[in-house]
Amino acid sequence: MSGSRDACRTHGKVLGVGGIRHNVALQGELIRLGARFVIAGTDVNYVLAGARQDTTALRAIPLR
């Protein structure tokens, strides 16, 4: 990883990583190593999580 980080710095690019979900410790380590762009999920997963939350709230509304 440090080789990629150094190459990015040399060429004025941002180091990015993706595909690391549910592993905050590893995400933190990569950020400390210089990653400034971290993809920790997908749009679909975030939209589904919001939809599930809304569905749960709607189902909790008393009908009477």
For residue range 25-39, what is the model confidence (pLDDT) as tens digits?
Answer: 999 999 999 999 998
Residues 45-59 have a mean pLDDT of 95
- Listed by start position, the domains of the chain span 2-59
Residues 10-34 have a mean pLDDT of 91
Q: What is the DSSP letter of 11?
A: T
Q: How many CA atoms lie within 13 A of 39 on its CB side?
A: 9
Answer whether residue 1 shows pLDDT above 80: no
19, two tokens: 């595909």
* Cα separation of the two ends of the chain: 59
User: What is the pTM for the complete model shown?
Assistant: 0.60
* Pairing of the two strands 37-39 and 16-18: parallel
